[in-house]
Amino acid sequence: KGGSFLAKDIIMYASDEEKKDALIIEKAGKKGLINNKTSEIIIEPEYLDIMAISDKHEDGYIVKNDTNKFGVIANDKTKVLAEKYEDIKRVTGNGYYVVVEEGKVEIIDKSGKVILDTGFDSVEEIQLDNYIIIKDGKYGVINKQGEIIIQPEYENIKFGTVDSFIA
């Protein structure tokens, strides 16, 4: 039912939640996922790499295909984001993803709609509608509308309590 996977095919747990949800498998150099409880295949072993988005398998997986493009697959096997990005990561908060497409960093939602694109180098963290960004090696904060809350001129910034920051 779940395919023929031997213990040697299992390379690591894909979820830290009691290390019981999903297992990354590797067959013929390709990675996939099986449900550790039911042995059902979650994702066929067809990717160069698979990374859990969070410690809950329900949040889905970032996958890397043969052309080194990244996408997101949900736990129910549906494609959330097509495999067309140069890089992708989910940053804490709001279900948004930080992607690199054609060398440009953007924040997008699950539908692929661009939420924010303002020429920053990286997004480190999202809290409510504020984003800690890096531009030219310096940290700053912008909001969902792209307005600068804190100029990118600090060595590091962390979120404090709601609407406060530690720089």
Q: How far apart are CA 117 and CA 6, in angstroms?
A: 45
d(CA 31, CA 24): 7
Quickly count: other Cβ atoms within 10 Å of residue 146's Cβ: 14
CA distance 53 to 51: 6
The pLDDT assigned to 82 comes to 92
Half-sphere exposure at residue 145, Cβ-oriented, CA atoms within 13 angstroms = 3
Q: How far apart are CA 79 and CA 10, in angstroms?
A: 23
Query: What is the per-residue pLDDT across 75-129, written as a single tens digit (0 to 9) for each?
Result: 788 888 999 999 997 665 567 888 998 888 888 888 888 888 878 888 887 777 7
Output the pLDDT for position 93.
54
What phi and psi, each to the nearest 5 degrees, are found at residue 7?
A: -55, -35
Lowest mean pLDDT among 17-21, 42-46, 78-82, 149-153: 17-21
Q: How far, in Å, are 50, 61, 118 from residue 74 at the CA level?
A: 12, 6, 28
Phi, psi torsion values for 61, nearest 5 degrees: -140, 140
